[in-house]
């Protein structure tokens, strides 16, 4: 069983910071061609530097793309930039996500719509466009290659999709929608040999969680107490799970929501800290 992604071309959203950045670095370090997409152009430049000159002999295996992926034209431009740089796309990682805490009685149409647009619709639109490109690439294969995988899509979700945390109501709704989108696309794209899976994670030592722990140190103990494995996950625990789902090592898996949460989702959802 091989988890090899060397030589594959991956689009990774949310790659200017957080888990998206960790996944993009991991994929680049393991030999994939990576297009790092984010609306935070300054963050992309800070982490990755500017794109190399087109005629450079040392162009490397990473490119950056800055733009608001909630816009359909921006998504089309992202795919075009990927094809221009690497001629194909094999993997899509939808890692751009937004989290918002609010009293459920104060959640309004705008807050729910914002999270659905960022966490669900952006991923759906990009998945649809990239899947069509993967299908087109498959038309160049010989008939004898009719079992060759054409691509893999991995979405990032959260155990909030199935847990009752009132302060995360809007985020939970969006996460549940991502899970169902994953299952639906998996069935729709299976005849085209494109797999769609998701990684649903719990407490990850992100920059935002570090800030929360710094402001309220008791948060760390609360999270650890609510996690059977007794720790907060480093980014590597997520990135390697994403690599597995993107690789041929998971070639007979599709529509799967892989929980990487230290067992946290096995416990009573109510009352545990919302991180």
Angle, vertex CA 107, rays to CA 105 and CA 108, nearest 5 = 120
Query: Residue 196's pLDDT is what?
Result: 98
How is residue 131 written in tokens? 């899947």
Note every long-range contact of 55-63, with CB atoms under 8 Å and residues 24 or more positions apart, other chains counting. Answer: 61/28, 61/31, 61/32, 61/33, 61/34, 62/24, 62/28, 62/33, 62/34, 62/35, 62/36, 63/34, 63/35, 63/36
Question: What Cα–Cα distance (Å) separates residue 205 from each residue in 41, 160, 213, 219, 262?
Answer: 24, 16, 10, 12, 13
Sites in the chain below the pLDDT cut of 50:
273-274
- From the CA atom positions of the chain, what is the Rg in Å? 19
Angle, vertex CA 94, rays to CA 91 and CA 98, nearest 5 = 170
Query: How far, in whole angstroms, is CA 182 from its chain's centroid?
Result: 12
Q: What is the pLDDT of residues 217-238, one digit of tens each?
A: 888 898 898 899 999 988 889 9
Contacts of 187 (CB under 8 A, 6+ apart): 255
Query: Residue 102's pLDDT is what?
Result: 67
Q: What is the pLDDT of residues 2-48, one digit of tens each?
A: 799 999 999 999 999 999 999 999 999 999 999 999 999 999 999 99
Note every long-range contact of 231-237, with CB atoms under 8 Å and residues 24 or more positions apart, other chains counting. Answer: 231/262, 232/203, 232/204, 232/205, 233/201, 233/202, 233/203, 233/204, 233/205, 233/260, 233/261, 233/262, 234/204, 234/205, 235/19, 235/22, 235/204, 235/205, 235/206, 236/22, 236/26, 237/201, 237/204
User: For the whole model, what pTM was predicted?
Assistant: 0.92
Residue 201: strand pairing partners: 158, 260
Show the domains of the chain with their CATH numbers: 9-204+234-262 (3.40.50.720)
Query: How far, in whole angstroms, is CA 125 from its chain's centroid?
Result: 14
How is residue 234 written in tokens? 């480093």
Query: Residue 274's pLDDT is what?
Result: 46
- For residues 49 and 131, is the Cβ–Cβ distance under 8 A? no
User: b vs e for 9-29, b when ≥16 Cβ sit within 10 Å of the residue's Cβ?
Assistant: bbbbbbbbbbbbbbbbbbbbe
- 22/233 Cα distance (integer angstroms): 13
């Amino acid at each position: 069983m091989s988890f090899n992604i060397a030589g594959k071309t991956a689009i990774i959203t949310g790659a200017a910071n957080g888990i998206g950045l960790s996944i993009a670095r991991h994929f680049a370090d393991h030999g994939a061609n990576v297009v790092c997409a984010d609306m935070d152009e300054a963050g992309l430049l800070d982490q990755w530097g500017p794109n190399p000159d087109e005629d450079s002999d040392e162009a490397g295996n990473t490119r950056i793309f800055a733009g608001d992926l909630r816009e359909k034209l921006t998504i089309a431009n992202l795919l075009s930039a990927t094809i221009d740089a690497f001629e194909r796309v094999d993997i899509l990682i939808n890692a751009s996500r937004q989290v918002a805490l609010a009293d459920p009685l104060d959640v309004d149409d705008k807050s729910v719509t914002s999270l659905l647009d960022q966490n669900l619709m952006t991923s759906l639109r990009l998945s649809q466009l990239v899947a069509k490109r993967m299908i087109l690439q498959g038309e160049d294969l010989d008939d004898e290659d009719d079992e060759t995988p054409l691509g893999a899509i991995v979405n990032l979700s959260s155990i909030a999709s199935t847990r009752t945390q009132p302060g995360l109501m809007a985020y939970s709704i969006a996460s549940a929608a991502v899970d169902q989108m994953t299952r639906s696309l998996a069935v729709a794209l299976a005849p085209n040999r494109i797999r769609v899976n998701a990684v649903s994670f719990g407490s990850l030592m992100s920059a935002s969680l570090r800030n929360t722990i710094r402001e309220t140190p008791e948060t760390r103990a609360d999270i650890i107490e609510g996690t059977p494995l007794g720790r907060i996950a480093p980014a590597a625990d997520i990135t390697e799970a994403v690599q597995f789902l993107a690789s041929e090592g998971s070639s007979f898996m599709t529509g799967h929501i892989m929980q990487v949460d230290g067992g946290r989702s096995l416990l009573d959802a109510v009352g545990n800290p919302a991180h």
